[in-house]
Copies of this chain bind each other. A is one copy, B any other.
Amino acid sequence: MENRTEISSLGEFGLIEHLTRNSEIKNASTLLSVGDDAAVIDHFGRQTVLSTDLLIEGIHFDLSYTPLKHLGYKSVVVNLSDIYAMNATPTQVLLSIGFSNRFSVEALDEFYEGVYAACEAYGVDLIGGDTSSSQKGFIISVTAIGEVAPEKFVKRSGAQPNDLICVSGELGGAFLGLTLLEREKMVYQQTGVQPDLEGQATIVGRLLKPEARKDIVEFFAETDLLPTSMLDISDGLSSDIMHICNQSKTGCVLYEDKFPFNDDAKNFAYKLQLDPTACALSGGEDYELLFTISQNEYEKVKHNPSISVIGYITPENEGMHLITRGGNKHELLAQGWNHLKK
């Protein structure tokens, strides 16, 4: 009888590892392959960074509360975020879409308005793609291309013990935005009462129209700061710091009281009786940059209001921990958003 292993038994990262385990590099130009935010290829000294994402209706977005224009904007931005997470500058995108016949030309126009708005905002060119019909739902595939000066790309695997762990912006907002919209959708479906999003523009915006941290990568260039490792937070802080630690073969300590929160987000969390820290650790899609720097570089970041130092890297055998406000030490768990794992 044929073996059947459920994909959920591996999860997304396990699956990628499994499928690519026998992969061998054949081209000298392939500098960095599967397993980071983006791949890097060499062009006679200059380096090109490439990243791709597949977004599927019902899995990654819900059109009942996502305006198509926002979706177009976000589809591009989340890919650019992967390019920035390599310390590179995005230059071009390729975009493919598949759509069922419930979509009209006007609907696609709205989507593309968002796509072009993102291209404009980040100075990238849409250079190609594919359009297709689908039997069901809306499917989006984006590939982003960027460039980086030789040897300046930043992998996930370079963190060293005693490095400081830094994060840009604020955490947990996108998750709270999602929670709010899902709740309002349910209320609407059950009662017909229109959503009450009053005063929640921040967290809803964080989910529906995220931005990539172009400014942080520009700040690195201006201050001549090269992080030792970096990624963008798409699965939640907990999962994502684990990616850095696992690939760098280190441990870490995070301090709960250093986590940056937006006040609106925090208040909304309390209103829902949610712990903001849990939202930051487990909620995905913040698209903030999580990076490590040598302690010698602390002076460079300490006056930047967009950067918070939230912990430090330890040797691998010390494990991964969170120090709570109360001073307790907890082991970190990968609670992030992993849509393939049960």
A interface residues, Cβ below 8 angstroms from B: 2-10, 12, 15-16, 18-20, 22-23, 25-27, 29-30, 32-34, 36, 38-39, 41, 43-46, 48, 50-60, 91-92, 94, 96-99, 101, 103-106, 108-109, 112, 116, 119-120, 123-137, 139, 141, 143, 145, 147, 339-340
Contact = CB atoms under 8 A, between A and B. Distances in A.
As for how many copies of this chain the complex holds, the number is 2
Contact of A2 (B38, B106, B141): B106
A39 B104 contact: no
B39 A92 contact: yes
Nearest to A36: B128
Question: In the complex, which of the residues A30, A132, A135, A136 has the most CB atoms of chain B within 10 Å of its own CB atom?
Answer: A132
27 contacts: A5-B105, A6-B104, A7-B103, A18-B109, A23-B116, A23-B126, A25-B125, A29-B91, A30-B127, A41-B91, A43-B43, A43-B46, A43-B147, A50-B127, A52-B96, A52-B130, A54-B96, A54-B97, A54-B98, A54-B141, A56-B139, A59-B132, A132-B339, A136-B136, A136-B137, A139-B139, A141-B141
B129 A52 contact: yes
B126 A16 contact: no
A92 to B, nearest CB: 6
Contacts of A124: 26-27
The 5 closest A-B pairs by CB, nearest first: A141-B141, A39-B127, A43-B43, A5-B105, A54-B96
A14 to B, nearest CB: 9
A129 to B, nearest CB: 6
B135 A7 contact: no
B41 A108 contact: no
B104 A5 contact: yes
A131 B12 contact: yes
Contacts of A112: 19
Contact of A92 (B41, B97, B104): B41
Contacts of A34: 126-129
A113 to B, nearest CB: 9
Contacts of A128: 33-34, 36, 38-39, 50-52
A240 to B, nearest CB: 16
A253 to B, nearest CB: 31
Nearest to A122: B26
A33 B131 contact: no
B15 A130 contact: no
A81 B20 CA distance: 23
A60 to B, nearest CB: 7
Contacts of A129: 34, 52
Contacts of A23: 116, 125-126
Contacts of A141: 52, 54, 96, 141
A91 B59 contact: no
A133 B94 contact: no
